[in-house]
Each structure stands twice: as C-alpha cells, then as structure tokens.
A = this chain, B = another copy of it.
Amino acid sequence: MAMDKVRYAGDPVAAVLAVDEPTADEALRFVDVEYEDLSAVTTIEEAIAPGAPLVHEQWSGQAELRGSSYGAPEKFKGTNICSYFGYSRGDVGEGFRKSDYVFEDTFRFPKVQHCSLEPHVMVAHFEEDHLTVWSACQDPFGLRDQLAAIFNLPLSHVRVIVPYVGGGYGGKLYVKAEPIAAALSWKAHRPVKLVMAVSESFKTVTRHPARVRIKSGLLADGRLLARECEIYMNTGAYADAGPRVNQKAGYRTLGPYRIPEVKVDAYCVYTNTVPAGAFRGFGAVQVAWAYESHTDLLAERLGMDPLEFRLKNLLKKGEPYTPGDTPVDCDLKEGLLKVAKALDWKREPSKPNTGKGLSLCMKDAGGTFKIAGATVKMASDGSVVLLTGTVEIGQGSRTALSQVVAEELSLDLNQISVAQLDTDVTPYDVSTSASSSMTVMGLAVQRAAQDVKKQLLGAASKVLDKKFAALTLKDGKVHSRGGKAVPYGKIITGYFGSKAGEIIGRGLYRDVKTKRAALGSTTTFWEVGWGGAEVEVDRETGAIHLHKYVSVADVGKAINPVQCEGQDEGGVVFGLGHTLFEQMVYEDGQLLNPNLVDYRVPTFRDLPKEFSSALIENQNGPGPFGSKGMGEGGLLPVASAIADAISKAVGIRFYDLPITPEKVWRALREKARR
C-alpha cells in the first residue's frame, strides 16, 4: 500500500487476507519487502531545519486560511510544514514596547497515545456496488464521506454502522484502516474483519508533540499587555486531523486572559513518525500546559501570588475571547476560588518538599461548525426509540440523551431505547467530539422530543376532544384539566384508529456561521476546567506523590451527575498520564515502546490520595436545561498545576513533559551541584 515510500515505521505496506489469524500469520512470512534506507526526521527541530529531508515531496498547500490568518502558505513549499494558522489583533510590537516587562518561555509536550481499551477494529462488506462497514469510530458520517470518495460511490451506497465503542478520545475520528478492509472485501467478495493489536493502534494515531514559545508583555502592576505565541505541532507522517488540531491549538493559546495585543503563529509539521490526530483536548492540552506554566512564571517573576495574578487578568463573563466569537459564558473567578479554597491556598504546606499549584483553562468547545439531527420515534404503546448519531464511546451519551427524552416526554427511562447507529437511517451528525454531544446533539434530541410532544398533544386534543392548551404530559399519561389521565399508548391507538401508527419527531441543531468569528463560525460554548494539586517530592527517588487533586468543571447543568464526575475524574487521570508518565520514545526512526508494558499509563495506584471533582451548575449552558458539554476540561489544568506545585515544593521548574522521577532526580542532583 505505501506508494514508492514508507513514511514512518508503521506505515501499512501490504495487507494479507486469510480465513483466520494463524493462516494470515503464516502467509505474512511470504511477504518479502526490500527497503532502501532514507534519512528521517522525527522531531520538530529536525523537520524544520534548513535542508531537512521532506516527508512529502509534493506540497499539498493544506494551509488553513480560515479566520484572520496571515502569511502566504506558498512560502512553505519545499518544507515539511503541512499547514499554518495565524491570528493577531492589535499591534503586538507596540504592546511589547509599552510593557514594563517582557518575558519569554518555551515548553514542550511529548508524543502520547490514546490507549483506548478497544483498539481500532472494523468489518467491511462490499456487496456489488454497496459497501457496509462496521467500525469502532467516532465519526460515522465522516467515515462515510471518505469511503464514498475513495471508492467513488454515492453516499447512499456506503453504510457505516457503529456498535458500542470501547473508548475513543479522538483516536477514532477520521478514517483509519477502514479503506484497507473495504478494498480487501471488494477483492474477496466476502466480509473482512480487521482488528488491530495494541501495538498497531500505537502506530496508527497519537497526540501531537508540540513546542510552544510564549512571550508576554506586562505592566508593573501585573496587567498583561501583549502576547506572542509560536507553536509547532509535530503531526507525524500524514495529516489526519493535524491541520485542524494545529488551528485549534493556535486559537486556544491565548488562555482565559485579557490581552489587548496578540499575535499567534501555529505551524503543523510533518515528521517520519506515527500520524498525530485528534486527542481529548484537541490542541488545547499542549498550549494549556504552556500558557499556564508561563502564567505561573510571570507571577513568580513579578513576585505575585499566582492566584492574585490570574484574578487580575482573567476575562469576565460576557467579555469576548476574540471579537465576533461567543463571549465568555461563565464566571472564571468562581471556579478558581473554589479550587483555592479546596487547597486551602493561603496556608503554607506544613511538610517540607511539598507544594501547591493551580491552573485554569478554557477551550472553545463544539468543534468547528456543528450540525446534528435526531429523531424520536414513539410507538403505539408510548415507548420510544431515539435515533442519534452520537457514538456511545463510554461517555454515557446513550443514558444522558435518553434522559433528555425522558424529561421532555415525562417518560420512565426504561421506556426509551437508543437505536443502532447506522448512517443509512440515523440523522446526520458531524462527529462525536469536542465535548459537544450534550449540547449539540442534546439540543437536537430535545427538539425532536418536543416535536413528539407537540404531535402527541395534538393527537390527544382530537382523541379527548379537549383544547391543546388544556393538556399536559405527566408520567406517561396525558392529563387534561378536569379529565382523566390517559396513557400515551391509548392516545396514539385512538388517534390512528388501530395499534398501527406511531409518532415521529425530528430535531436539528446548527452552529451559527459568521465571518466575524476568527474560525468562521462561533464557538458553541466554552468548556472551562479548573484544577489544583498538592504534591510532595521524594528527594531520594525523584518520585512525585500527589497528595491531593481538586478539579472543578463548569457544566451548566449536570444531566447525569455521576457520569459528569466520572468524566471529569477520567480527564484528570488522563492528564496525570502525560504529566508524569507517558511518552512514545523514538530511536533511529523506530518507536521503542508501542505496548502497555513499556509505555506507562496511570494505574489506580497513581490516583491522587485525595481526589475531588466539583460541578458548577449555573444553568449557563446552551444545551438542554442549561447544560454544557464537559469531559475535556478536567484534563487541561493538570500538567501546569502539578508542575507549579513541584516548583513550589523543590524550586525546580520543568518545561518539558512528562516529569518522570528520573527527570526530577537528575534535576535535583543538578541543582544541588550548582
């Protein structure tokens, strides 16, 4: 499959199809590949060095020019720069000139993997000119688009079915090996199953390693005046979601602060490594690590308390993040003060080698231009099937979306089923991503349920001969003023004159497109996460003991509080991974640790000793009942909060993740030596 050139160790070269795995293994021995060694670039530095070998000789010109980007993409021709995003407002040079202080820091983020418990898995079946694919994917409609384009089929000839998915975290967005399975099925005239091993998923998609340089200008009182950010994202050998991740990283790098003059340059860079794509946080994780560490450093340099420094510069509710975009939709101070209180911020730690850190991050949630449809189908007994394109990836969407239906229709949750996700029949949804489902799909589902409600009340009005306005729904029955309560089923069978018939409601959600917004459409809502950590550093071993972690999430309204807390805690644990443990290690272009033994994810033993997750519910979300999406916010503040706590504990600042015991131990030795 790799045409002329293999671009990374893991690039599919050939596929072997067999009736079972042992036979395929046997057949693999007969595949003989002769490789010619080529020079490789694996790091950002190598890739952008003058005269670096090109990962792709042909320049695709994939520059992202939406929003107020600048710079001519043509100038990147003949380089490894895959795409570019730029943003500026005001005059950053002027800002720096007016500043009392200007500080600059550079941070690095490692290559990490999603480690979904279920690896990539799919079945493809070509029958004449119709292709059916069962895939553990997060964007069945996007996958349908790609497969239709690849095999030159109308969209109506490609059917993607998604069963329960064993974790996604963005790793199952965008087409992966499905076209390979489909081509094999087309050749074999049989359904073809392709299940990846963990090591193969490691070689399929990762998070972007990043280098983020931030330069800020401040007044003596601590007010931010100007900021310049230069971001390089290592997107690996193929673009996947890279250009969009890079764009979002660039857009999100300003942080939740009021900064009059800004300039951002974000570069997405090809290297000969596993492609990087969407991953929980979608570019925000890398830049949040950078801008919040930078914030702590700024406070430190000015001799200010990092809490006070943040409170001074935070955007207020209703203030614009960038002109034309949705204004900040929550009180950023509220969560920060909650974290400070939970950490007993003002009290000095009583033990030595112990420190505290806090952080907050903001992410334009919803992704880029969301469209979602939903259908609610009420059968003649009043029970309901919900059709939604949101993929259940363990986040609990089936339960939460069913709750919205149950609430709107005053039905027991056990009367509601969620239909199999199938692009042939399920209404369109852009993707299950960007913490958007509760808001975007939630609204579509709510509107579909409200459509059913309207039709049901209309039918009841006829059947019961009562005025529409005199009728209400309660506990599966239509109640009328001065009348008897009648079960929905009786209304429907009465209306249709038999057990035949049903009520079908539809709902649609669309983001607002506007040229005034930097990214072309407005942010659906702001996902905000606050976090605080108290750590103790073991000077003998360099081990970090996480005594306490406090997470606060702005959820608007928790449709299912237990699920929300679970998601928030899960986000924090993800953050612990890249903060303290995880990193894909390359040597001579080879990935050394593509397995769950050598690659270290957090375990239950790594959980904070005290661990709390608080939900702020101010009904300030645009979703059903004032809800917002959530699930990524908890992840964002972890690294910088812990890094600052370490700095407070032992006076060492880390600029690169992960902060492993070895790194800490070496830094302690180095510091002692100086």
Contact = CB atoms under 8 A, between A and B. Distances in A.
Interface stretch (A251-259, A279-287, A498-506): A498-506
Given A156-B417, A425-B385, A428-B502, A497 B369 contact: yes
A235 interface: no
A417 B381 CA distance: 30
Interface stretch (A104-112, A372-380, A604-612): A372-380
A155 interface: yes
Contact of A425 (B129, B416, B419): B419
B510 A156 contact: no
A371 B498 contact: yes
A155 B380 contact: yes
Contacts of A420: 422, 424-425
Contact of A383 (B154, B375, B422): B154
Interface in A367-420: 369-371, 373, 375, 377, 379-381, 383-385, 387, 414-417, 419-420
Contact of A501 (B385, B424, B425, B428): B428
Contacts of A377: 424-425, 427
A141 B387 CA distance: 18
Contact of A499 (B130, B145, B387, B498): B145
A137 interface: no
A496 interface: yes
A95 to B, nearest CB: 35
A416 B154 CA distance: 9
Nearest to A426: B425
Which of A141, A155, A383, A384 neighbours the largest number of chain B CB atoms within 10 Å of its CB?
A155
A500 B369 contact: yes
A369 B416 contact: no
A513 interface: yes
Interface string A509-531: 01001000000010000000000
A156 B425 contact: no
A79 B217 CA distance: 100
Interface in A350-372: 369-371
Interface residues of A, number: 48
Given A380-B155, A381-B154, A387 B501 contact: no
Interface string A585-609: 0000000000000000000000000
A572 interface: no
A449 interface: no
A427 B504 contact: yes
B502 A156 contact: no
Contact of A500 (B129, B156, B428): B428
A340 interface: no
A237 interface: no
A504 B385 CA distance: 18
B425 A383 contact: no
A156 B385 contact: yes
A139 to B, nearest CB: 11
Which of A159, A422, A428, A500 neighbours the largest number of chain B CB atoms within 10 Å of its CB?
A500
A424 B385 contact: yes
Contact of A504 (B141, B154, B500, B506): B506
Nearest to A420: B424
B425 A498 contact: no
Contact of A416 (B156, B383, B427, B430): B156
Nearest to A521: B497
A414 B502 contact: no
A653 to B, nearest CB: 43
Contacts of A416: 156
B504 A373 contact: yes
A424 B417 CA distance: 9
A355 B430 CA distance: 70
Given A380-B155, A415-B156, A425 B500 contact: no
Nearest to A145: B499
Contacts of A384: 156
Interface string A138-175: 00010001001000001111010000000000000000
Contacts of A141: 500
B422 A425 contact: yes
Contacts of A513: 497
Nearest to A429: B500
Nearest to A496: B371
A141 B154 CA distance: 30
A502 B427 contact: yes
A430 B502 CA distance: 11
Given A154-B381, A422-B420, A371 B428 contact: no
Contacts of A379: 154-156, 428
Interface in A466-513: 496-502, 504, 506, 510, 513
Contacts of A155: 379-381, 383
A428 B377 CA distance: 10
Contacts of A148: 381
Nearest to A384: B156
A498 B369 contact: yes
A376 to B, nearest CB: 10
Nearest to A502: B428
A58 B268 CA distance: 79
10 contacts: A130-B417, A156-B385, A156-B415, A159-B417, A373-B502, A377-B425, A422-B422, A427-B502, A497-B513, A501-B510
Given A380-B428, A385-B424, A428-B500, 10 more contacts: A154-B383, A154-B417, A156-B385, A157-B417, A369-B497, A371-B496, A373-B504, A375-B504, A419-B424, A420-B424
- By Cβ-Cβ distance, the 8 closest A-B pairs, closest first, are A154-B383, A156-B383, A155-B379, A371-B500, A419-B424, A425-B425, A156-B417, A428-B502
